[in-house]
A and B are shown apart, each in its own frame.
Chain A
């Protein structure tokens, strides 16, 4: 069972460049989420999508955009990267309320 696949695993990106982090799930979960993980700050929600065709802003959405064209894919785009976006990014999905989330393996992004 693949679950959630994130790509790339890691990336070094020059400031000002754009990048899309990919997230694909094969569990037919309706809801998907993007979090960033930073030392001392825990996981903070960037954007979410309750179902295909809808998206919403989380706690730290600035500088990021998402789309949800279908159930399986939930890409996260940085239009013009800045060093403060250096982080580990986790994609997650959930089947239903109260069952918790399934997480991807993360993308480690370094903006220089």
Chain B
């Protein structure tokens, strides 16, 4: 069965320190993965997609098929990075649906 696992519910990092939010997936097909971010009392926003290989707000994520991971990284944390982060897997079996992980709440300590 398809599944997205975010092992850390809470993560606290000092400002200026590196950030890594973990995401692992299980899916027998070709994975398409996303990171979404939800700032306090705001809607979910797409942060980045693995197929675009882009860097958004200093964040990057590389798909590692061998480890079935899609960890989100940023070299230097900023206070405005405090938010809820969701990893999501796109399933293309007939109907297109996003399966989300349980989320990681990132808190940046000033």
Q: State the A residues within 8 Å of B (CB).
A: 31, 33, 35, 40-45, 48, 50, 56, 58, 90, 92, 94, 97-106
B90: which A residues are within 8 A, CB to CB?
A: 97-98
Q: How far is the CA of A98 from the CA of B6 in the complex (A)?
A: 21
B67: which A residues are within 8 A, CB to CB?
A: none
Q: How far is the CA of A90 from the CA of B46 in the complex (A)?
A: 14
The listed residue (A40, A43, A50, A106) touching B86 by CB distance below 8 A is A43
Q: How far is the CA of A97 from the CA of B100 in the complex (A)?
A: 16
User: Is B70 part of the binding interface, using a Cβ–Cβ cutoff of 8 Å?
Assistant: no
Asked if A48 and B97 sit within 8 Å, CB to CB, the answer is yes
Asked if B97 and A45 sit within 8 Å, CB to CB, the answer is yes
Asked if B97 and A33 sit within 8 Å, CB to CB, the answer is yes
User: Is B25 part of the binding interface, using a Cβ–Cβ cutoff of 8 Å?
Assistant: no
Q: How far is the CA of A30 from the CA of B99 in the complex (A)?
A: 19
Tell me which residues from 14 to 33 in chain B have a Cβ below 8 Å from any Cβ of chain A: 32
Asked if B103 and A94 sit within 8 Å, CB to CB, the answer is no
Q: Can you name 14 extra interface pairs (CB under 8 A) apart from A58-B97, A98-B90, A99-B49? A: A31-B96, A35-B100, A40-B102, A42-B102, A42-B103, A43-B100, A44-B100, A45-B98, A45-B99, A48-B95, A50-B96, A92-B44, A100-B98, A101-B98
Asked if B51 and A98 sit within 8 Å, CB to CB, the answer is yes
| Closest Cβ–Cβ distance, residue A87 to chain B (whole Å) | 14
Chain A-chain B contacts (Cβ-Cβ < 8 Å), number:
55
Q: How far is the CA of A105 from the CA of B39 in the complex (A)?
A: 11
Asked if B101 and A42 sit within 8 Å, CB to CB, the answer is yes
Asked if B43 and A94 sit within 8 Å, CB to CB, the answer is no
A98: which B residues are within 8 A, CB to CB?
A: 32, 49, 51, 90
Q: How far is the CA of A50 from the CA of B46 in the complex (A)?
A: 20
| Closest Cβ–Cβ distance, residue A105 to chain B (whole Å) | 5
A102: which B residues are within 8 A, CB to CB?
A: 46
10 A-B contact pairs sorted by A residue (CB < 8 Å) = A33-B97, A42-B6, A43-B86, A45-B99, A48-B97, A50-B95, A97-B90, A99-B49, A100-B49, A103-B43
A41: which B residues are within 8 A, CB to CB?
A: 102
